[in-house]
Amino acid sequence: MSIFVTTEWLADNLNAPDLVIVDASWYLPNAQRDGKAEFLERHIPGAVFFDLDGISDHSTDLPHMLPEPRDFATAVGALGIGDGVRIVVYDTVGLFSAPRVWWTFRAFGAQDVKILEGGLTKWIAEDRPLDQGAATRKPAVFTSRLDRSVVADIAHIEKAIGTPTQILDARAAGRFTGEAPEPRPNLPSGHIPGSLNLPSSNLVQDGKLVPPDVVRQELEAAGVDLSRPVITSCGSGVSAAILWIALESVGKRPQALYDGSWTEWASSGKPIEKSA
C-alpha cells in the first residue's frame, strides 16, 4: 500500500467530503521559521494546521513528545478530524515534518493516512490553488488508540544496545560523529553507543522520497541489516519518521520510533559515543 498521494490525485479529490488535508509544517529551532504563520499566509484549500509542538505532551521539557491518547483525540477532533476520514498530510518543504505527523496519526489508530508527494512546494510549482487565513472544520470525534509497541522510550533504547536490534539515527553525519553542534542550545552532539547513521537528507530528493533501489543502497551503506529489527531515531523524533517511511518503502517495517530521540538521550546523562 502506497504511503503517498500525488498532487494530481489531491487536486482531483480536493472537495471530497471525507478528505481532511493537514498542513504539518515544522522547522528546527535554528531555522527561524514559523509553520503556523506560514500556514496563515498560504496553504492548500481546506487544509487545517497540525501544531506539532502544541499537540504534544506538555508535562515534559522534551520537544513534541506524543500526548496521551485522550489529549490527542481532543486536539485533532477540534481540528475536525474524526473517525473514518481520509487524511492527507503535507509540509512546506516537501518531505520533512509530514512523515512525523503521518506516523503519529497511524500510531493513534487512524486507518487511512497518506503523505502528499512533493508537499506544498510541488503544489505551488504547479500553480495550483491556495488559501489564506485560518481554516475551520466542524468538530469531530476521533477514537484514539495508541499502539505503544511502535513507540520506543529511553528504557527500550538501553535494552537494545548490544542486541541484534539496530538503532538507526537520521541526523546529519557531523552531529552523529560529534564534529558538528546540535541545533538545540547546550545539547552535546555524538550518538547512542552502537547506533548507525543514515542522514535523512540522503533519502530525500526534490522534496520526495528517493526510489526504493536508492533507499536500499543507502541502508546498505549505513550498515543496516534488513533481517534484523530497526528502531529509528534522530534529534527529536521528527526526521526519524523519514527513516520509517523509507524502510517501509522497501518492505521493512521498523520495530519502533524513539520518541525522545537524541534530545532525551543526550540530556539524560547517558553514554555518548563520538566519531563514526
Active site members: 234
Alpha helix (H) ranges present in the chain?
A: 7-12, 35-41, 69-78, 98-107, 119-125, 154-160, 173-177, 212-221, 240-249, 261-266
Q: How far apart are CA 121 and CA 92, in angstroms?
A: 6
Residue reference for cell 536508492: 214
**Cell of residue 187, nine digits:** 545539547
User: Element (H or E) spanning 35, and its range?
Assistant: helix 35-41
* H helix runs in 91-199, sequence order: 98-107, 119-125, 154-160, 173-177
Q: Can you tell me the distance from the alpha carbon of 119 to that of 91, in angstroms, rounded to the nearest whole number? A: 5
Other CB atoms within 10 A of residue 226 CB: 13
